[in-house]
Amino acid sequence: MAINFQPAHYTISAVELSGCPEDSGAEIAFAGRSNAGKSSALNAITNQKSLARVSKTPGRTQAINYFDIDSEHRLVDLPGYGYAKVPEKMKKKWQKLMGDYLGQRKCLRGVVLMMDIRHPLTDFDQQMIDFCAETNLPLHILLTKTDKLKRGAAQNTLLKVTRDLETVDADISIQLFSATKKTGVDQARAHLSEWLLSDSLIEEDE
């Protein structure tokens, strides 16, 4: 059984935890630095062209943006920040929002972290990995823009990142992904479906 992600549509933005929808059902959060390909990944997984455009509109770039698939399942676009030096005040605000959301949101099933395969494991990425490890959240990493590298180089980066994260005490999985070439899209959908449907499968077993 798999989720059909195509009906996903924007519903609400929240700048603090209290503004998020009711903590029920199941949701998956997407995280990534600016230019890591987060919007493209969301669009590819949902088979839409401009779903994530809403996250780039003024007032929403630093908000948690919600996309409902159906009444029980949601995708969540978490705010990131770019390559420019970030003011300390903004960084602290982001850290508090991420800490509150990842630590307290009971319906959160896991986090998908986008990393540009040419620049993996940045400080931002490491913070997200640490957040997930501290809160016992499963983490699925998409090494994006794999079409920018030759196949051998992409595989080598995948192996290196996998090795670098072996010492992290967390549930981490990693795959290659290209929104442009649709590489890894079905694999990502299957992984997310498994997370979102985990409650349903448990109920069926009972």
pLDDT tens digits for range 4-29: 999 999 999 999 999 999 999 999 99
pLDDT tens digits for range 77-97: 998 766 556 788 888 888 899
What does the CA dihedral 28, 34, 36, 41 come to, rounded to 10 degrees?
A: 40
Rounded mean pLDDT of the chain? 91
Q: Which domains does the chain have, with CATH numbers?
A: 9-205 (3.40.50.300)
Q: What is the pTM of this model?
A: 0.92
Strands of the sheet containing 73-77, edge to edge, are 9-14, 64-68, 73-77, 26-32, 108-116, 139-144, 172-176
Measured between alpha carbons, how far is 26 from 32 in angstroms, rounded to an integer? Answer: 20
